[in-house]
Amino acid sequence: MIVEYIRYRVDRQDAEEFEAAYARAAVPLAAAPQCVDFELSRCVDEPESYILRITWTSAEAHMREFRGGEHFTAFFAEIRPYVQRIEEMRHYERTAVKGTGSAVPSLYEWAGGTAAFDRLTEVFYARVLKDDLIGPLFAHMDPGHPRYVAMWLSEVFGGPSRYTDERGGYPHMLAQHLGRHIGEPQRRRWVSLLMDAADEVGLPADPEFRAAFSGYIEWGTRLAVSNSALEAAPPSDGIPVPRWGWGVAPPYVPES
């Protein structure tokens, strides 16, 4: 992906119509398959200055496909009066430097930290061992397994990187599923028992937390089913433990 930044200088008396024009232009822009997301920001220190950020699938997709496609005409018709107000228009590549601040607590913190995930997996695996469908899969489970899964979930949801540091990270977790041929009924039971355990131990029940929590559990278990297929050969080198936040994951599109 590539990020385009466009810097405008718009007189204050024109600001309202400028923003309205971009609100209209946002409709064809959002409909363009080359566009990932976009945002128009106004400078607080210099209100005449605006920055438009658009993430494109690639620079070529923007310059050739979008500009030569059906949505550009409607988009450009709205912003045409402001083209002369552009002071800078460039494409930027993302770097590996990124992160989040502490203004919003991580899911790990919101859940109650390590102790909460330890309680969750302890109760969960007690349920698992009594279950007729998935219990046999864990009949010879390592006594430390619940704690290891708690470490994994803690790291996934923004906690310390203990699973990576002590257990081998994503490659180790992947190895636990390879060749297991997990079926959909088993996956569904696993999810159901975990959600029951989350209720029993009192994980936060607010809609935002549970939506993010269940989103990862659905994503992770479906990935486990895929990786456990007999013919599966998923890559593992260099893949970190996923970090799950309050938002959503984009769709996976394999590189051609």
pLDDT in tens, 100-125: 788 889 999 999 999 999 999 999 99
Measured CA to CA in angstroms, residue 184 lies from 97, 146, 160, 181, 225 at distances of 38, 22, 31, 10, 7
Report the distance separating Cα 139 and Cα 145, nearest Å: 12
Could you write out the DSSP letters of every residue in 125-158?
A: HHHHHH-TTTGGGGTT--TTHHHHHHHHHHHHTT
Other C-beta atoms within 10 Å of 47: how many? 12
Of residues 132, 137, 216, 129, the one with CA closest to residue 182: 137
Residue 171: predicted pLDDT: 92
Residue 248: predicted pLDDT: 64
Residue 236: predicted pLDDT: 80
- Threshold 0.85, pTM exceeds: no
Of residues 222, 28, 243, the one with CA closest to residue 152: 243
Which residue ranges of the chain lie beneath pLDDT 50?
none
